[in-house]
Structure 1
Amino acid sequence: MTGDEYIASIQDGREVWVYGERVKDVTTHPAFRNPVRMTARLYDALHDPATRDDLTVPTDTGNGGVTHPFFRSPHSVDDLLADQRAIRTWSRMTYGWMGRSPDYKASFLGTLGANSDFYAPFEDNAKRWYKESQEKVLYWNHAIINPPVDRNLPPDEVGDVFMKVEKETDAGLIVSGAKVVATGSAITNYNFIAHYGLPIKKKEFALICTVPMDAPGIKLIC
């Protein structure tokens, strides 16, 4: 994406709330417009002749394009050095103030290509996300922590709060509940939903998925 294409990609009617107010457009709201503009500069730098050599490498998906190297699985020392160069270049542009820039979650996205078998029987889905995220340099965040309530109880005993699957249909899963610490989610394209910590005893609480930020029913409370 270019900077303008990134901005357009998050003007999608997503439901974001801050200080009890519904945000009409995260790209112009005072709470979000500056990080949106900074992120747009990062995307524009991928196309700028002055920085693109440090910020892009050929994709490994066969589409003939280029990508930010951290979105591609590394296979050599040279690949790792290309990752380092690109991360450093973007960090210098933001003076280190964008800790959750698009390359942050790329550290996870690269594993979808390198270790797709881990996600069996859904390895094809992992490969699809690897390909799409690499070719578009999509901006992801994640939410993997349950809200800090009833910490003495296992997750399956806090079903009125914690995220769980309510129903499985041919069209997908119907999910309810909350996750926290989705840093940057208001200005990203997708949210990776998962969990860590205590063993998950019931399948409906073991959900791992990716959700577009404008999906119906998604509500972001900042």
Structure 2
Amino acid sequence: MIRNAAQYVASLRDNRSIYLDGKIVGDTTTHRAFRRTVASAAKFYDYQSDPANQDRMTFRTPDTGEIANRIWELPKSYEQLVQRRKALEEWISLNAGYIGRGPGHVASCISGMAMGLDVFKEYDPKRADAVMNYYQYARDNDLYLTYVIINPQADRSKAASEQENEFLTAGVVDQDSSGITVRGAKMLASAGILANEVFVTCIQPLRPGDERYAISFVIPLNAKGVKMLSRKSYEEHAPDVFDNPLASRFDENDAIIYFDDVKVPWDRVFVNQNIEMCQKQFHATPAHVYQNYQAQIRLSVKMRFLIGLARRIADTNGVTGFPQVREILGNLAAQGAMVDALLTAMEVKGSKHGEYFVPDRHTLYAAHVLTQQLY
């Protein structure tokens, strides 16, 4: 199933608890701090559901035969990987790459975990079932996911378990036959205001004694006890689209999410209090590569926009022919071409992980370092 814009916007009216400036926010789809960004995200869904775009933006799932967005595709060949990348580029271009954590980012992470299911089976077959079942559920319901994978900033000389409040960082407070109960905070929930569900885990290294924080699960953002604490809204302070064309429409927002004794059923738990597996879910599966491959695709789109903007500014001011301006524009174009070349290289040098074809991690991580410096 794929959704259209109206269905997506309706899904956000779910009585979730979002706080802004110390006050509870009602409907994010109409609130002045979020409404334009929600409308921008909704364009993803009208674009994918347009019959003229569906062949490029969707694929038929092998298990159900229904159509789903290509963000959930698990490529088995170089050709399928490139086809998926072209669809992502097209989708991301709707906002010039300025919605950094669009629907494709965390979807790529979960898809990478599904491609590395053998790692989860070795850890716990029941957790492997939870991963695959959730992947199929999110794919088939066209969900928009965010994630919180970083611990709140505190005394950095101490481990999570050594902080003054043992539940400053989200951790397991209890578990029973129905699931785990989680208490504490995580960050950064980029695009949390736009998402349907949140993936909660820890990508940072944990130390012995931190086991209760070594968890991995997904939960709806309107679940009982889930509270989103939004940072200041740029959109709210950029009321004019003409003067602030980006901040007024593409402020995906960031937030801390506090889990106030949130009950998570076992079928949504991927890792339970296992430090080693918390790292392996990212690095022993294609998850970390696949999610950052999506990030590099987005950055390439964003850089093309910025290069074009620089050229347009030069043209408008009549300075395009100045030697020093031509030199700068040439350097920008070369840097943009290098990012495109790195993307192509990580695809060409890709390899099989089981039956799936994934980008080359060495080229990806080289691009990850260089493109941050370029941007």
**TM-score, normalised via structure 1 length:** 0.94
Give the one of 19, 32, 37 matched to 2:39: 37
Deviates more, 1:47-56 or 1:209-218: 47-56
Q: How far apart, CA to CA, are the structure 1 residues paired with 2:79 and 2:205?
A: 38
- Structure 2 matches for 1:59-208, cutoff 5 A? 59-60=61-62, 62-120=63-121, 121=124, 122-158=127-163, 159-202=166-209, 203-208=211-216
Q: How far apart, CA to CA, are the structure 2 residues paired with 1:220 and 1:190?
A: 12
**TM-score, normalised via structure 2 length:** 0.57
The Cα shift of 1:201 comes to: 2.1
Q: How far apart, CA to CA, are the structure 2 residues paired with 1:144 and 1:6?
A: 25
Deviates more, 1:202-211 or 1:21-30: 202-211
Corresponding residue of 2:10 = 8
Mark the CA change 1:160 to 1:56 in structure 2 (over 3 Å): closer, same or farther.
Answer: closer
The answer on whether the counterparts of 1:71 and 1:137 sit within 8 Å (CA) in structure 2 is no
The Cα shift of 1:113 comes to: 2.4
Q: Which amino acid aligns with 2:188?
A: V
Corresponding residue of 1:216 = 224
The Cα shift of 1:221 comes to: 0.3
The alignment covers a number of residue pairs equal to 221
Q: How far apart, CA to CA, are the structure 1 residues paired with 2:219 and 2:60?
A: 27
Tell me the secondary structure at the aligned position of residue 179 of structure 1: strand
The Cα shift of 1:136 comes to: 2.1
The Cα shift of 1:42 comes to: 0.7
Q: How far apart, CA to CA, are the structure 2 residues paired with 1:92 and 1:21?
A: 34
Tell me the secondary structure at the aligned position of residue 146 of structure 2: strand
Which has more radius of gyration?
Answer: 2
Deviations 1:95-141 (A, max 9, x none): 22211110111211212321122223111011101111222221111
Q: Does 1:50 align with 2:52?
A: yes
Q: Which amino acid aligns with 2:172?
A: V
Q: Structure 1: where are the runs of 5+ without partners?
A: none
The Cα shift of 1:174 comes to: 1.2
Q: Which amino acid aligns with 2:229?
A: I
Q: How far apart, CA to CA, are the structure 2 residues paired with 1:73 and 1:119?
A: 17
The Cα shift of 1:146 comes to: 0.7
The Cα shift of 1:34 comes to: 1.4
The answer on whether the counterparts of 1:189 and 1:213 sit within 8 Å (CA) in structure 2 is yes
Identity among equivalent positions (%) equals 28
The answer on whether the counterparts of 1:109 and 1:133 sit within 8 Å (CA) in structure 2 is no
Deviations 1:167-200 (A, max 9, x none): 1022211111101111111220111111122334
**What is the root-mean-square deviation of aligned Cα atoms in Å?**
1.4
| More helix per residue | 2
Q: How far apart, CA to CA, are the structure 2 residues paired with 1:170 and 1:29?
A: 40
Q: Which amino acid aligns with 2:146?
A: N
The answer on whether the counterparts of 2:28 and 2:193 sit within 8 Å (CA) in structure 1 is yes
Q: Which amino acid aligns with 1:78?
A: E
Q: How far apart, CA to CA, are the structure 2 residues paired with 1:100 and 1:162?
A: 23
